[in-house]
């Protein structure tokens, strides 16, 4: 029996050691592959840059190195696409771009507009762009419409229906559980709390939403009109007619597409563009965005591009969900390092956020103000830079926005849940209290906020609003009276924000970098992204440990309900005082 246990234990130990060694060697092997993937990427002569418009495009690529190992693109990053298209324009080995459309969406029409503008600039080099798809989502079609030729599967579809915004209201649902949201706010247009306190849009919110979706759609229609030579009036008629479900021949008749063809035919067209024989057996030389984006030019002085996107939070624990966030503790530390780095001559802050914590916004505002004392700071706004995200943008030397960026929303609110109905009436839980002072139990879950306490909170919120207004006035060189006329939580499209001096110029990231170079008086320069992308090992550990797959699974199931539900789930972890607009305006 002793021998049995001895050999059994030896076997178990052997298995454990073997497992450990296999894991170690596996990681070493992956390290080698990752290192090779970072250095082996090269562009062959007579290549085509392939843009696969499928999936969700976000501000930055995630898991890019692991995706390279797997031979896939992973999450579509706006940063990768813009860099790849720019490098493709300058690389003589790249002859054109092939866009393959599919089930594609982006975080905003501003991001779509940025890619489309980059493609438009690419065409100025004399190179060609061809687009093909079985189906085009409206966002994919908007991007692809810049192409020289648009081809469609003979049984395919082009979605073209216009825009709609459908806010979600949870008041009645919460009431079924005995929960009521108590709100203290400043700003007639500050609509975010309506999600929990109303059953329909207020007149002010309806007016501002109509204004900015009209502005976004106007940009989409005008851009497509110029590229496809279809009048804006006709494009709106096609949207009204729901041409999405029309016979495919109508897409060609109405000039939305150039021809109905199959995949083998589009290959021949691309080969012909490359100077190859259409029936040549040689494969088309393709290059992915990640390979082209990796081509760096380190000549000249450094301009840091710091990406700040997601909810503004004060520490990771206060984040309403596991998505990317603007953590004040991390951002302030990073900006301080950039301020003290003599190699960095200017900083471009790339902002894409609907805001969040008022306390965190103030911390970041302070750090940007300190950074500005040492070197130029230029803000490049993405899909949104509103409320708390505008707060942190205000002190910059210069602010850029896309015409379709959502910005402004200068207002503040506090959201305080009253669960006494759930606890007392639904669950039968009783409370009693002993206290030393009149408001010792202020904020207790056992009772709602009293009118006197609400008056105190409103005074506190109002002081926060006055500070917000002052921060904007100081940063934008306006009086508080001038700011008040455009404040009250009002959300504006970027093109309208320019008119009222909330932004200085319309343009994307490239224009913001050029402005930063001008302010820093640089003749030659290159950009470096911050924070640095996660290492391959961090990405691997994140994948093994589960990452945020569970969260993404919940997101896919809840759809537009995801953000409000996650905010409710974590409301006790978030700061009570918020500068926020809905992270997703639910524009479809």
The per-residue pLDDT for range 336-378, each reduced to its tens digit, is 999 999 999 999 999 999 999 999 999 999 999 999 999 999 9
Residues designated as active site: 190, 387
| Segment 257-283 mean pLDDT | 92
The answer on pLDDT for 469 being more than 70 is yes
Which has more pLDDT, 86 or 280?
A: 86
pLDDT band at 586 (very low <50, low <70, confident <90, very high): low
pLDDT band at 573 (very low <50, low <70, confident <90, very high): low
- Among 15-29, 275-289, 442-456, 478-492, the range with the most confident prediction by mean pLDDT is 478-492
Q: 162: buried, middle or exposed (CB in 10 Å: 19+, 13-18, 0-12)?
A: middle
The answer on pLDDT for 436 being more than 60 is yes
The answer on pLDDT for 268 being more than 80 is yes
pLDDT of residue 560: 57
pLDDT band at 74 (very low <50, low <70, confident <90, very high): low
Q: Dihedrals φ, ψ of 278, to 5°?
A: -55, -35
Which tokens hold the place of 360? 């965190």
pLDDT of residue 579: 76
Query: Which residue, 250, 212, 180, 115, is CA-closest to 454?
Result: 180
| Segment 482-497 mean pLDDT | 96
Report the percentage of the chain scoring pLDDT > 70: 80
Q: What does the mean pLDDT of the chain come to?
A: 86
Query: Which residue, 23, 87, 525, is CA-closest to 292?
Result: 87
Q: What is the pTM of this model?
A: 0.85
What whole-number distance in Å separates Cα of residue 152 and Cα of residue 458? 57
Q: Is 385 helix (H, G, I), strand (E, B) or coil?
A: strand
What whole-number distance in Å separates Cα of residue 161 and Cα of residue 246? 12
Query: Which residue, 493, 479, 460, 444, is CA-closest to 214?
Result: 493
| Segment 104-124 mean pLDDT | 96
Between the alpha carbon of residue 150 and those of residues 81, 98, 460, the distances in Å are 20, 10, 56
Residue 226's DSSP bridge partners are none
pLDDT band at 35 (very low <50, low <70, confident <90, very high): very low
Are 129 and 119 in contact, with CB atoms under 8 Å apart?
yes
Query: If residue 579 lies in a helix (H) or strand (E), which one and from where to where?
Result: strand 577-580
pLDDT band at 31 (very low <50, low <70, confident <90, very high): very low
Between the alpha carbon of residue 581 and those of residues 195, 314, 362, 406, 555, the distances in Å are 11, 17, 17, 10, 19
276-285, 368-377, 506-515 — which is least confidently predicted?
276-285
């Amino acid at each position: 029996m002793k021998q049995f246990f001895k050999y059994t234990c030896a076997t178990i130990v052997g298995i454990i050691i073997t497992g450990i060694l296999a894991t170690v060697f596996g990681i070493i092997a992956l390290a080698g592959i990752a290192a090779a993937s970072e250095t082996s990427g090269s562009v062959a002569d007579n290549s085509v840059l392939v843009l696969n418009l499928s999936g969700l495009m976000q501000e930055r690529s995630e898991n890019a190195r692991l995706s390279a190992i797997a031979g896939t693109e992973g999450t579509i990053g706006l940063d990768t696409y813009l860099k790849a298209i720019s490098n493709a324009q300058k690389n003589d080995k790249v002859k054109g771009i092939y866009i393959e459309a599919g089930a594609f969406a982006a975080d905003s029409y501003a991001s779509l507009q940025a890619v489309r503008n980059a493609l438009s600039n690419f065409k100025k080099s004399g190179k060609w762009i061809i687009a093909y798809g079985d189906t085009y989502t409206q966002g994919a079609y908007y991007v692809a419409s810049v192409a020289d030729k648009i081809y469609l599967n003979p049984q395919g579809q082009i979605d073209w229906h216009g825009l709609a915004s459908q806010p979600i209201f949870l008041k009645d649902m919460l009431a079924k559980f005995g929960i009521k949201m108590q709100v203290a706010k400043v700003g007639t247009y500050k609509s975010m709390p309506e999600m929990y306190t109303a059953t329909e849009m207020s007149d002010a919110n309806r007016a501002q939403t109509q204004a900015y979706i009209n502005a976004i759609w106007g940009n989409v229609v005008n851009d497509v009109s110029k590229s496809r030579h279809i009048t804006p009036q006709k494009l709106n008629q096609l949207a009204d007619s729901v041409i999405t479900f029309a016979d495919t021949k109508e897409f060609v008749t109405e000039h939305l597409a150039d021809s109905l063809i199959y995949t083998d035919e589009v290959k021949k067209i691309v080969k012909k563009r490359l100077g190859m024989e259409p029936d040549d057996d040689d494969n088309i030389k393709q290059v992915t965005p990640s390979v082209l984006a990796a081509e760096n030019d380190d000549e000249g002085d450094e301009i840091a591009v710091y990406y700040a996107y997601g909810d503004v939070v004060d520490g990771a624990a206060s984040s309403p969900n596991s998505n990317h966030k603007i953590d004040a503790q991390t951002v302030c530390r990073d900006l301080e390092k950039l301020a003290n780095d003599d190699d960095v001559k200017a900083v471009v802050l790339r902002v894409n956020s609907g805001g969040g914590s008022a306390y965190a916004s103030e911390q970041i505002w302070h750090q940007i103000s300190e950074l500005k004392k040492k070197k130029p700071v230029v803000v490049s706004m993405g899909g949104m830079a509103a409320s708390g995200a505008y707060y942190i943008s205000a002190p910059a030397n210069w602010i850029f926005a896309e015409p379709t960026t959502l910005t402004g929303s200068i207002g503040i609110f506090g959201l305080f849940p009253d669960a006494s109905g759930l606890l007392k009436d639904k669950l039968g839980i009783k409370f009693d209290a002993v206290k030393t002072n009149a408001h010792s139990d202020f904020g207790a879950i056992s009772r709602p906020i009293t009118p006197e306490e609400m008056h105190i909170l409103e005074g506190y919120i109002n002081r926060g609003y006055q500070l917000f207004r002052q921060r904007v006035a100081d940063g934008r060189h306006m009086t508080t009276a001038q700011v008040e006329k455009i404040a009250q939580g009002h959300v504006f499209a970027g093109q309208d924000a320019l008119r009222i001096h909330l932004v200085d110029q319309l343009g994307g990231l490239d224009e913001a970098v050029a402005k930063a170079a001008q302010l820093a008086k640089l003749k030659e320069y290159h950009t470096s992204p911050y924070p640095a992308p996660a290492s391959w090992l961090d990405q691997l550990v994140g994948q093994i440990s589960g990452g945020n797959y569970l969260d993404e699974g919940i997101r896919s199931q809840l759809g537009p309900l995801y953000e409000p539900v996650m905010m409710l789930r974590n409301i006790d972890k978030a700061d009570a005082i918020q500068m926020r607009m809905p992270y997703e305006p639910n524009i479809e």
